[in-house]
Amino acid sequence: MNVVDSSGWLEYLADGPGADFFAPALEDTDHLIVPSICLLEVARVAFRERGEQAALQALALMRQGQVAALSTPVILLAAYHGKEHKLPLADSVILATGRLHGALVWTQDSHFEGMEGVCYTPKKKAAPPP
């Protein structure tokens, strides 16, 4: 099973320089868990940058995976991981969701680097325009 954090979804949807890293996990929808907080984060960015239709399209794509609700077990484990690893709220929820589902967490957020059960790659910068 795979969980891709919001930065990975955004990179993939924008066809950014790191999109190929996230493609295998995102395109294997039978093994994809999507934390509900990722739906919010991605929709928020898509809406802000490209409008409501882009946000709806992103949500439709994301919902092809299994959406994981913000349940009590996720909340409690997220609280633990937030404290233990000093993670921001959304990242602690994403990590907790991955752990509860026995999933590999895919990310380019540096605070995940070196964590067990995390597939990390540094964020790539876009090539400068010619």
Instruction: Locate the domains of the chain by residue range.
Output: 2-117
pLDDT mean across residues, the chain: 96
For the cut 80, the answer to whether the pLDDT of residue 127 exceeds it is no
Which pLDDT score, from 0 to 100, does residue 7 have? 96
CB 58 within 8 A of CB 9: yes
The C-alpha atoms of residue 47 and residue 49 are separated, in whole angstroms, by: 6
pLDDT band at 52 (very low <50, low <70, confident <90, very high): very high
CB 78 within 8 A of CB 105: no
For the cut 90, the answer to whether the pLDDT of residue 129 exceeds it is no
Which pLDDT score, from 0 to 100, does residue 60 have? 98
- Helix (H/G/I), strand (E/B), else coil: 11: helix
For 3, other C-beta atoms within 10 Å of its C-beta total 29
Q: Given the structure tokens 């190929």, which residue do they identify?
A: 20
**More confident position, 116 or 125:** 116
- The CATH code of domain 2-117 reads 3.40.50.1010
Extract long-range pairs of 52-57: CB within 8 Å, 24+ residues apart. none
Q: List pLDDT tens digits, range 72-116.
A: 999 999 999 999 999 999 999 999 999 999 999 999 999 999 999
Which pLDDT score, from 0 to 100, does residue 79 have? 98
pLDDT band at 61 (very low <50, low <70, confident <90, very high): very high
For 57, other C-beta atoms within 10 Å of its C-beta total 13
CB 112 within 8 A of CB 118: yes
Cα-to-chain-centroid distance, residue 90:
9
Question: What is the mean pLDDT of the segment spanning 25-36?
Answer: 98
Q: Has this prediction a pTM greater than 0.85?
A: yes
Which pLDDT score, from 0 to 100, does residue 125 have? 80
The C-alpha atoms of residue 98 and residue 52 are separated, in whole angstroms, by: 28
